[in-house]
Structure 1
Amino acid sequence: MPNIKSAKKRVKVIATKTMQNKAINSQLKTEIKKANAAIAAGAADKEAVVRVAIKKIDQAASKGILHKNTAARRKSALAKKLNAGA
């Protein structure tokens, strides 16, 4: 446990940021799963669901939760599945 005041604050700040990152990551995974399910089921609104998932991927990348190349790879995979299923 830290003794120095600034170190104690860093522990609090890191805990807060970790919770925010987990929430964003969880939401991102949920949207990607929804998009994959919509593509697999051949849903009528699958383009809209994929668009939302891509937006979440971009938001995570802009916040530094995903690396930009990882974000690009995931978006490409979704687009490839969408085009193959369409």
Structure 2
Amino acid sequence: MANTPQSKKRARQAERRTEVNKARRSRIRTFLRKVEEAIASGDKDAASAALRSAQPELMRGVTKGIVHKNTAARKMSRLSARVKAIA
């Protein structure tokens, strides 16, 4: 348990940041899920549109420190390859 005033404040700040990060992570996952669903349906136009909207969201996660840069790059690469493969 936090004892000093500074450590109490840091605990409060960490709590707030956790909530914000949770919301951001959830938002990123939603965008990625939309791409997955569009790929599963086989609609190339919808899938590429979903991918275009998901990319800035994922990169924003990188700048905010929620997702590692390489993880985001890997996800985008794999998704774009799957969208490209839709006949």
The reply to whether TM is greater than 0.5 is yes
Tell me which residue corresponds to 1:11.
11
Other-structure match for 2:72: 71
- Per the normalisation by structure 1, the TM-score is 0.93
Tell me the distance in 2 between the aligned counterparts of 1:24 and 1:79. 22
CA distance in 2, matches of 1:77, 1:55: 16
What's the CA shift string for 1:51-74, capped at 9, x where partnerless?
A: 111111111011111111011000
TM-score normalised by L of structure 2: 0.92
Question: Which stretch shows the higher mean deviation, 51-60 or 7-16?
Answer: 51-60
The CA RMSD over aligned residues, in Å, is 1.1
CA contact (8 A) 1:40 1:85 kept: no
**Structure 1 stretches lacking a partner, 5+ long:** none
Counterpart position of 2:55:
54
Contact preservation (8 Å) 1:35, 1:53:
yes
Identical aligned residues as a percent: 38
**8 Å Cα contact 1:60-1:66 kept in structure 2:** yes
Corresponding residue of 2:81? 80
Counterpart amino acid of 2:29? K
Query: 1:38 corresponds to which letter in structure 2?
Result: A
